[in-house]
């Protein structure tokens, strides 16, 4: 019952009234990563993603979770999708990261509740990076395209350097970039956790913020966000006011690697970057969006870079939205397994196209005592264009 096929049988049984939405049913659905690897593997083309998301939405409206679980999830969703609230927590988070390092050095961290321990382990050392992204950035040279940019939530606060690298690369390649200040959260975390009404509200706000910009494409540098935004048409299909607008919006969404591929041959010269790089496929990028070749092509086009693949590269790192926080034991095991495979490669960088994966992999490597450098692929391209050392 913990396989994709088993969960599909349970979903069907619940829909037919043969299985109640009780503890056992919810446990099976919660245990699913939602990584969508089963979609890639399925010979029948079953679209598991909308089914697990729909089932989780039913769970969230029909099942009353234990108080501690409700409280923990409520806190997560009251903070994570809101960059301003994340910024307000910058100071205490920095204190916690110092305490975390002290705990890990003395093995005290393992005495804390599993979810609190997972939260502490995932906190980056450089919390609260400033986000000074302008709303409009001109193209360098003749303009090839006008591109909207999703600045994100966790991405904006913890990985703002990825956004800045994205803007520099797109601008160098002849794109005018527009990043609306009022865009807000894309709703990915809410959608994948079954908080459907919340996800719809975020989607409407996102669509509205970009409709007035007149961009050709919307670039996304976080795999989970891009996957959710490409689903807006399905998410809002029953909303007469928003259905067509959502469909049009989703058709314009691209991962940043797709944008750079679509606009044509590279214009900005690439300088040598002597580095061995392993690429980790973010699940919602490769399985949810089918983006596999483009990030690798961008990396391989950098002179001096050697790209390599890890053993068990198809496996999820255990991030999966909020999975590593609400199912911390399983998430920690998956993260450790992933970095163990990566550590055997003797590489200089591990590149991945999703903020959640970056947080998870950095935490797993830190916990294992392995000194690895994790970056977004666009940061490698940016370093090559600017002839700078990462």
CATH of the domain at 379: 3.40.50.2300
The reply to whether 174 and 103 lie within a common domain is no
Banded pLDDT at 106 (limits 50, 70, 90): low
Domain membership flag for residue 19: yes
Pairing of strands 217-220, 305-308: unpaired
Measuring CA to CA, which residue among 346, 285, 354, 340 is closest to residue 312? 340
Q: What is the rounded average pLDDT of the residues 36-53?
A: 95
Residue 103: what pLDDT?
A: 65
Integer CA distances (angstroms), 30 to 7, 19, 25, 160, 218, in order: 11, 16, 9, 31, 31
Pairing of strands 253-255, 175-178: unpaired
| Total tally of structural domains belonging to the chain | 4
Domain membership flag for residue 130: no
The reply to whether 246 and 291 lie within a common domain is no
Strand partners, 307: 277
Domain-ending residue, one of 227, 262, 297: 262
- Count of alpha carbons within 13 angstroms of residue 313, beta-carbon side: 15
Q: What is the rounded average pLDDT of the residues 237-243?
A: 97
Banded pLDDT at 239 (limits 50, 70, 90): very high
Q: Domain range holding 377?
A: 275-386
Domain membership flag for residue 267: no
Question: Using an 8 Å Cβ cutoff, are 342 and 372 in contact?
Answer: yes
Output the DSSP codes for 314-356.
TS--S-TTTHHHHSHHHHHHHHHHHHHHHHTT--SEEEES-HH
The reply to whether 56 and 77 lie within a common domain is no
Question: Using an 8 Å Cβ cutoff, are 122 and 324 in contact?
Answer: yes
The Cα–Cα gap between 170 and 161 comes to 14
SS3 28: helix
The reply to whether 105 and 146 lie within a common domain is no
| DSSP state, residue 272 | P
Residue 127: what pLDDT?
A: 61
CA 381: distance to chain centroid? 19
* Other Cβ atoms closer than 10 A to 363: 25
Q: pLDDT tens across 144-162, in order? A: 999 999 999 999 989 999 9
* Other Cβ atoms closer than 10 A to 135: 13
Q: What is the rounded average pLDDT of the residues 165-177?
A: 98
Residue 87: what pLDDT?
A: 83
Domain membership flag for residue 131: no
The reply to whether 203 and 307 lie within a common domain is no
Between 95 and 270, the higher pLDDT residue:
270
Q: Helix %, strand %, coil % for the chain, to 5?
A: 55, 10, 35
Contacts of 79 (CB under 8 A, 6+ apart): 85, 86, 89
Enter the pTM of the model.
Answer: 0.94
Average pLDDT taken over every residue of the chain: 93
Q: What is the rounded average pLDDT of the residues 251-264?
A: 97
Banded pLDDT at 130 (limits 50, 70, 90): low
Domain membership flag for residue 269: no
The Cα–Cα gap between 125 and 112 comes to 20
| % of the chain beyond a pLDDT of 90 | 81
Strand partners, 136: 178
Strand partners, 367: none
- State yes or no: pLDDT of 388 exceeds 70: yes
The reply to whether 233 and 246 lie within a common domain is yes
Domain membership flag for residue 129: no
Residue 89: what pLDDT?
A: 80
Residue 120: what pLDDT?
A: 85
Banded pLDDT at 93 (limits 50, 70, 90): confident
The reply to whether 368 and 313 lie within a common domain is yes
Residue 188: what pLDDT?
A: 97
Phi, psi for residue 148 in degrees, rounded to 5: -85, 150
Domain membership flag for residue 30: yes
Q: What is the rounded average pLDDT of the residues 44-73?
A: 96
- State yes or no: pLDDT of 348 exceeds 70: yes
Q: What is the rounded average pLDDT of the residues 124-134?
A: 69
The Cα–Cα gap between 1 and 320 comes to 20
The reply to whether 252 and 151 lie within a common domain is yes
- State yes or no: pLDDT of 129 exceeds 60: no
Q: pLDDT tens across 277-331, in order? A: 999 999 999 999 999 999 999 999 999 999 999 888 889 999 999 999 999 999 9
Question: Using an 8 Å Cβ cutoff, are 191 and 285 in contact?
Answer: no
Residue 104: what pLDDT?
A: 60
Question: Using an 8 Å Cβ cutoff, are 7 and 32 in contact?
Answer: yes
The reply to whether 243 and 289 lie within a common domain is no
The reply to whether 283 and 316 lie within a common domain is yes
- State yes or no: pLDDT of 128 exceeds 60: no
Name the token pair of 355.
Answer: 């903020």
CATH of the domain at 249: 3.40.50.1860
The reply to whether 34 and 147 lie within a common domain is no
The reply to whether 208 and 248 lie within a common domain is yes
Q: pLDDT tens across 181-238, in order? A: 889 999 999 999 999 999 999 999 999 999 989 999 999 999 999 999 999 999 999 9
Domain membership flag for residue 220: yes
- State yes or no: pLDDT of 2 exceeds 80: yes
């Amino acid at each position: 019952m913990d396989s994709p096929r088993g969960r599909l049988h349970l979903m069907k049984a619940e829909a037919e009234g043969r299985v109640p939405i009780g503890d056992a049913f919810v446990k099976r659905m919660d245990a699913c990563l939602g990584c969508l690897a089963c979609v890639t593997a399925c010979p029948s083309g079953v679209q598991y993603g909308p089914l697990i998301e729909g089932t989780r939405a039913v769970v969230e409206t029909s099942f009353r979770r234990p108080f501690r679980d409700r409280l923990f999830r409520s806190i997560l969703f009251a903070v994570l999708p809101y960059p301003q609230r994340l910024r307000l927590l910058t100071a205490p988070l920095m204190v916690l990261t110092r305490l975390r390092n002290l705990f890990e050095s003395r093995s005290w961290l393992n005495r804390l509740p599993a979810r609190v321990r997972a939260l502490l382990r995932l906190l980056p050392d450089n919390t609260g990076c400033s986000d000074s992204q302008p709303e409009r950035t001109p193209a360098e040279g003749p303009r090839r395209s006008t591109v909207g940019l999703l600045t994100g939530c966790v991405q904006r606060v913890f990985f703002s350097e990825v956004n800045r690298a994205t803007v520099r690369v797109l601008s160098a390649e002849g794109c005018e970039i527009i990043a609306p200040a009022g865009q807000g959260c894309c709703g990915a975390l809410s959608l994948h956790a079954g908080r459907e009404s919340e996800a719809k509200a975020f989607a409407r706000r996102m669509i509205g913020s970009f409709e007035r910009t007149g961009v050709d494409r919307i670039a996304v540098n976080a795999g989970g966000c891009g996957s959710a935004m490409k689903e807006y048409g399905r998410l809002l299909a029953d909303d007469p006011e928003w259905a067509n607008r959502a469909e049009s919006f989703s058709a314009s969404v691209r991962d940043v690697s797709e944008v750079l591929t679509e606009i044509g041959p590279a214009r900005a010269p690439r300088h040598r970057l002597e580095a061995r790089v392993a690429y980790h496929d973010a699940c919602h990028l490769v399985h949810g969006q089918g983006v596999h070749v483009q990030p690798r092509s961008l990396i391989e086009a950098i002179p001096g870079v050697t790209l390599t693949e890890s053993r068990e590269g198809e496996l999820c790192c255990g991030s999966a939205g909020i999975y590593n926080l609400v199912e911390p034991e399983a998430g920690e095991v998956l993260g450790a397994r992933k970095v163990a495979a990566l550590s055997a490669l003797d590489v200089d960088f591990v590149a991945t196209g999703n903020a959640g994966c970056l947080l998870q992999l950095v935490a797993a490597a830190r916990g294992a005592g392995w000194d690895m450098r994790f970056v977004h692929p666009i940061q490698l391209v940016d370093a090559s264009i600017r002839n700078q050392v990462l």
